[in-house]
Chain A
Amino acid sequence: MKRHFLSTRLWHWINLISVVILFMSGLNISNAHRYLYWGQWGFSPEQAWLAVPRFPGWATIPNYYSLAGARDWHILAAWPFALGLLFMWIAMLINRHFWRDLRTNRREWRPKAIWSDIISHLKLNFDHGPGKYNFLQKMAYGSVMGVILPGMIFSGLAISPGFESAAPWLVDAFGGRQSARSIHFIFAWAIFAFMVLHVALVLLSGPIGQMRDMITGGKA
């Protein structure tokens, strides 16, 4: 029995590449109109709830302003991102990774248990049972896998005018097309924040072993 399933490892790296391309091309797309709105419409600064800073070339794909070029990358990487997540969810439900490792139980929701989990995180104590996540890890991975990543796909679809007639309720579920665009932007930064935390914790918990296990599978 390996520490990480093959499906987990495959998805992890495909998803990393997809997310990096989507995020950096997304910053280029953001530069085309740097204002975010709530509701269905919005087109000028005085209607905006947020004026987004211009992202520099080193942070974007391509590394110069090109809305058309960035959209090419975004449109391409959306496929491995969306289909990859679908694949991962199916695999996770079948191989029991979800039921065994990500699902929380009632005991873990007790304030005392959550508190002791926070304390052991702050002490950088990574010594918990193999293959098992503690409560904060379950929360982090669960909300990313279950809310943020699917939320990126659904808000992306809601922004697409060609998709709207397939599921008009989707745009309404976000509270309008410009709301969906705002949520797309906020969730993109939530993924970025997760990645920073994730990489930091990998670095603190023995990066060589962690990387090796995510490639070879490691031992349970």
Chain B
Amino acid sequence: MKRRALLAGMGALFVGACSKVADSKVGSSLMSAAEDWHRKAHRALSNRTALVREYAKSDLSPYFRGNGSVTVDTDEYRQHVADGFANWRLEVGGMVAIPMSLSMENLRRLPQRTQITRHDCVEGWSAIGEWTGPKLSTILEAAGVSEEANFILFRCADTLSGQEYYESVDMVDALHPQTIVAHQLNGANLPIKNGAPLRMRIEKQLGYKHPKYLTAIEAVASLDDIGLGQGGYWEDRYGYQWYAGI
């Protein structure tokens, strides 16, 4: 009995020490440094434009799970659904030479990329889907993105716990050839649960980096003044890793 109490005590001490470390300045900066080392190692070990695996149609999962926001609870969005998203606009702004407001028709007329890729959720599950849409790089080039822009910010129509969803990636992921603004899943218009009418595909990162219900793309130099400064909804609110390639 004594030994068990001792073991429990040691366990509690260890776990207590862990939460102290995690909450301390040194601990949390060590953790974000470790996240950074993973990103740098990933980028050092593969070509920046190296593609992730693309699958065959026979590999598609039977359906594509919806997770996080599965709709947008506003009258405006319901009106868009009723209109078949005919009036949906994607704003392209921030540090670009030519700010643009793109219609769905504009996006469909751009050169398209179709890719069958695996989607990995931070929770652990995976699904395989076929996505179609223009490359983000095509849009950024057309808008004349500034050399000084370091990040691309994605604004969304949906909210979680009353907060606007947003995400960001650096230019390496933004310009990656498989980073597309998807308007189709498995050959049909995006279902509502998967982000209709537009969602990002950031194939080298986990699912929370692929924002849905996309309304705007902004080129920025720094993420400090956006939201709570951590670069995304899950990063700001719950301390999730900004680099989600791990």
Which A residues fall within an 8 A CB radius of B?
A: 20-21, 24, 29-30, 32-33, 35, 37, 40-44, 58, 61-63, 66-69, 71-73, 75-76, 78-79, 159-168, 171, 177-178, 181
Contact = CB atoms under 8 A, between A and B. Distances in A.
Given A32-B122, A32-B123, A177-B120, A165 B50 contact: yes
B183 to A, nearest CB: 22
Given A58-B15, A72-B31, A76-B34, A163 B245 contact: yes
Q: Give the 6 A-B residue pairs with the shortest CB-CB distance, closest first.
A: A162-B245, A166-B46, A33-B124, A43-B125, A165-B50, A166-B45
Given A41-B118, A69-B22, A160 B65 contact: no
Contact of A67 (B30, B51, B123, B245): B123
B124 A160 contact: no
B141 interface: no
A168 B124 CA distance: 19
A163 B127 CA distance: 18
Q: Which of A20, A72, A167 has the most CB atoms of chain B within a 10 A radius of its CB?
A: A72
B245 A79 contact: no
A62 B238 CA distance: 14
A165 B126 contact: no
Interface in B28-77: 28, 30-31, 34-35, 37-39, 42, 45-47, 50-53, 55, 59, 61, 65
A161 B18 contact: no
Given A68-B239, A168-B53, A171-B53, A43 B245 contact: no
Contacts of B19: 62-63
B126 A177 contact: yes
Contacts of B120: 159, 161, 177
Interface string B3-17: 000000001101100
B61 A75 contact: no
Contact of A41 (B30, B31, B61, B239): B61
B124 to A, nearest CB: 4
Contacts of B152: none
Interface in B200-218: 203-206
Given A160-B38, A167-B45, 12 more contacts: A35-B125, A40-B55, A40-B118, A43-B61, A69-B22, A72-B241, A160-B246, A161-B118, A161-B206, A162-B42, A163-B246, A166-B45
Given A73-B22, A164-B53, A32 B128 contact: no
B234 interface: yes
B127 A162 contact: no
Contacts of B234: 68
Nearest to B122: A67
Interface of B: 11-12, 14-15, 18-19, 22, 28, 30-31, 34-35, 37-39, 42, 45-47, 50-53, 55, 59, 61, 65, 118, 120-128, 203-206, 234, 238-241, 243-246
Given A43-B126, A58-B11, A162 B18 contact: no
Contacts of B59: 40-41
Contacts of A24: 15
B125 to A, nearest CB: 4
A68 B205 contact: no
16 contacts: A32-B124, A35-B125, A43-B125, A62-B15, A67-B122, A68-B241, A69-B22, A71-B122, A72-B239, A72-B241, A75-B246, A79-B34, A161-B245, A162-B245, A167-B45, A178-B126
Given A63-B19, A160-B245, A165 B31 contact: no
Contacts of A41: 59, 61, 118, 125-128
